[in-house]
């Protein structure tokens, strides 16, 4: 059965003891991740998942809690896990430069290491569509820290569709992104407080009728939102949660 696992569903600060964002998708043709935050390698190992089985990582934007775990994965893939299968890392403009800057800051000298597997970086222009093997990715503009080149994504694979807002305020693109999706993953950072560059619960409720996905799961919760999760009818993600698609 095709399914999505929330390996990590937390914010940048580990609120509630949750791992940074890492959404693992399993379908018959492949296993891939959407975002891979700084703690994602630890989260995968805590949940008994071999990261060598991941063929592709799709990053929504260049912030550490969404792609900062990639240098750690690459280091382990070379030294510990002995990866041989190719790895595709896709994301917005500047994804390769951003990952390499993190690599150089975290592991000086790593740039001299030669992996025994192919690494392909793929930039996906905002508002465009790109195929990554069996995975088709459509990106939409997001309102988040501009320097991160933020996007929302709609991912189609093996007849299934996963839509993900990434981090950002409400945009007019979100209904189109969500329409007909088997699963919409929506950031819901705060329960009441409006915060620049993020979605909150009142905004999502205001637009809920526009989000025509088969199922919606809320993620990237602040301490305030975690504390109110039991009071709302909508489904909130937790680390290790598995959703069939």
Q: What is the CATH number of the domain that holds 220?
A: 3.60.15.10
Mean pLDDT of 107-111: 98
Mean pLDDT of 29-51: 99
Residue 62 confidence class, pLDDT cut points 50, 70, 90: very high
Mean pLDDT of 28-49: 99
Residue 10 confidence class, pLDDT cut points 50, 70, 90: very high
Q: Which residues pair with 141 in a beta bridge?
A: 151
pLDDT of 96 reads 99
**Structural domain range at position 137:** 3-244
Q: How many domains does the chain have?
A: 1
pLDDT of 229 reads 92
- Indicate the pairing of strand 56-58 with strand 87-91: parallel
Q: Are 174 and 211 contacting, i.e. CB atoms less than 8 angstroms apart? A: yes
Residue 1 confidence class, pLDDT cut points 50, 70, 90: confident
Mean pLDDT of 156-160: 99
| Cα(205)–Cα(212) distance, integer angstroms | 13
| Cα(182)–Cα(160) distance, integer angstroms | 6
pLDDT of 165 reads 99
Average pLDDT of the chain is 98
Q: Are 36 and 69 contacting, i.e. CB atoms less than 8 angstroms apart? A: yes
- HSE-up (13 A, CA, CB side) for residue 241: 20
Write down the residue that tokens 């569709």 correspond to: 161
pTM confidence score: 0.97
């Amino acid at each position: 059965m095709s399914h999505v696992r929330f390996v990590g569903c937390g914010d940048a600060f580990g609120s509630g003891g949750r791992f940074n964002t890492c959404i693992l998708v399993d379908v018959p043709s492949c296993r891939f991740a959407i975002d891979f935050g700084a703690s994602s390698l630890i989260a995968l190992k805590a949940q008994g998942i071999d990261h060598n089985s991941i063929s592709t990582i799709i990053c929504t934007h260049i912030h550490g809690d969404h792609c900062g775990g990639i240098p750690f994965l690459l280091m382990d893939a070379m030294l510990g896990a002995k990866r041989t299968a190719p790895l595709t890392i896709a994301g917005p403009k500047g994804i390769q430069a951003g990952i390499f800057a993190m690599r150089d800051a975290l592991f000086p000298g790593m740039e001299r290491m030669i992996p025994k597997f192919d690494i392909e970086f793929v930039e996906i222009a905002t508002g465009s569509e790109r195929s990554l093997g069996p995975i088709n990715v459509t990106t939409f503009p997001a309102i988040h820290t501009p320097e991160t080149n933020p996007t929302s994504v709609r991912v189609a694979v093996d007849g299934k569709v996963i839509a993900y807002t990434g981090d950002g305020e409400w945009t007019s693109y979100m209904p189109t992104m969500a329409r007909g999706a088997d699963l919409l993953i929506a950031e819901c950072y705060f329960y009441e407080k409006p915060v620049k560059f993020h979605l909150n619960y009142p905004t999502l409720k205001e637009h809920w009728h526009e989000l025509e996905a088969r199922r919606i799961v809320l993620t990237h919760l602040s301490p305030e939102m975690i504390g109110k999760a039991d009071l709302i009818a909508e489904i909130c993600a937790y680390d290790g949660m598995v959703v069939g698609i």
